[in-house]
């Protein structure tokens, strides 16, 4: 049941889907985010890049409401993030690693999430079908392979046709074929007018998928803008991007 993208009322978005102003987050004595200013544009694929420990995950967790910022303002989809959970009905989240309750079947996990969201939108089964997950849905999650679980994880994020998709290292645990299917789905989701925010340190994904780039380094925004601009600034080579991220310290 792949419904027409035009049937989505949630897609009437402001031009900026996520905006941060002076966002700070500390863990103990560690400043993970140091006054991050960001405006993530709607209807585009935005990649948050950065080496390990740059604050990518923390930024994503702040946007999802999993972590509470210490200071600054954060707006998602036009709503200030302040503890009211309802804005999350516009979000689809694919965590880095999928761990589901081991005695439940995929179908039961799907049903639980649908219950929790109380969505009336018809489900988006496209990824379940293209990943060949349908016949795996009645097995206990425990018996599924790591890759299959990761596919389920991705399919679940797209299932409720969210206006904003947040994908944490989406292709990390997937084989090349599944990774290709997911990338194609990300692209088609963008064409439907959704906004996609993904984190990655695999720079090669830049070329195929990403419109905008945010480079985080030690909790600060090092670069923000279209991927084209980043290429121009760094001379087209992926390695140069890596050097930009490394050399800026």
Partner 1 sequence: MTAAKVLRYELQDLRRSRWVFGYGLLLLALTDALLRFGGGGPRALLSLLNVVLVLVPLVSVVFGTMYLYGARDFIELLLAQPVRRIELCLGLYAGLALPLALAFVLGVGLPFVWGGHGDGSLARPLAMLLGTGVLLTLAFTAIAFLVSLLFDDRARGFGVALLLWLAATALYDAVLVFVAAAWSDYPLELPLLGLTLLNPIDLGRVLLLLQLDNAALLGYTGAVFERFFGSALGVAVSAVALLGWCAVPLVLAVRRFRRKDF
Instruction: Summarize as ranges the residues that interact with partner 1 (CB under 8 A).
Output: 27, 61, 64-68, 85-89, 91, 93, 95, 97-104, 108, 112-113, 115-117, 140, 166
Give the residue with the Cβ less far from partner 1, 98 or 227: 98
**What is the rounded CA–CA span in Å between residue 201 and residue 38?**
19
The answer to whether 91 and 156 have CB atoms below 8 angstroms apart is no
Output the smallest distance, CB 88 to partner 1, in A: 4
**What is the rounded CA–CA span in Å between residue 147 and residue 98?**
9
**What is the rounded CA–CA span in Å between residue 188 and residue 138?**
28
Give the residue with the Cβ less far from partner 1, 194 or 227: 194
Give the residue with the Cβ less far from partner 1, 46 or 77: 77
The answer to whether 114 and 123 have CB atoms below 8 angstroms apart is yes
**What is the rounded CA–CA span in Å between residue 222 and residue 215?**
5
Output the smallest distance, CB 57 to partner 1, in A: 11
Output the smallest distance, CB 152 to partner 1, in A: 11
Give the residue with the Cβ less far from partner 1, 67 or 206: 67
Output the smallest distance, CB 157 to partner 1, in A: 9
The torsion of the CA quartet 172, 178, 181, 185, rounded to 10 degrees, works out to -50
């Amino acid at each position: 049941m792949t419904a027409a993208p035009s049937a989505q009322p949630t897609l009437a978005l402001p031009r900026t889907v996520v905006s941060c102003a002076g966002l700070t987050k500390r863990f103990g004595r560690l400043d993970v985010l140091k006054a991050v200013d960001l405006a993530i544009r709607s209807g585009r694929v935005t990649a948050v890049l950065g080496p390990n420990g740059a604050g990518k995950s923390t930024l994503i967790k702040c946007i999802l409401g999993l972590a509470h910022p210490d200071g600054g303002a954060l707006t998602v989809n036009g709503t200030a993030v302040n503890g009211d959970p309802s804005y999350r009905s516009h979000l689809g989240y694919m965590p880095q690693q999928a761990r589901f309750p081991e005695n439940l079947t995929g179908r039961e996990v799907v049903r639980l999430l649908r219950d929790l969201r109380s969505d009336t939108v018809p489900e988006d089964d496209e990824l379940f079908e293209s990943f060949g997950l349908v016949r795996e849905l009645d097995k206990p999650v425990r018996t599924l392979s790591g890759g299959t679980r990761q596919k389920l994880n991705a399919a679940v994020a797209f299932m409720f046709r969210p206006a904003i998709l947040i994908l944490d290292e989406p292709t990390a645990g997937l084989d090349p074929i599944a990774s290709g299917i997911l990338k194609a789905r990300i692209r088609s989701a963008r064409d439907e007018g959704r906004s996609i925010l993904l984190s990655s340190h695999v720079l090669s994904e830049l070329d195929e998928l990403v419109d905008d780039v945010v480079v985080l380094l030690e909790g600060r925004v090092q670069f923000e803008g279209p991927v084209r601009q980043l290429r121009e600034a760094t001379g087209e080579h992926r390695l140069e991007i890596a050097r930009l991220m490394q050399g800026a310290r």
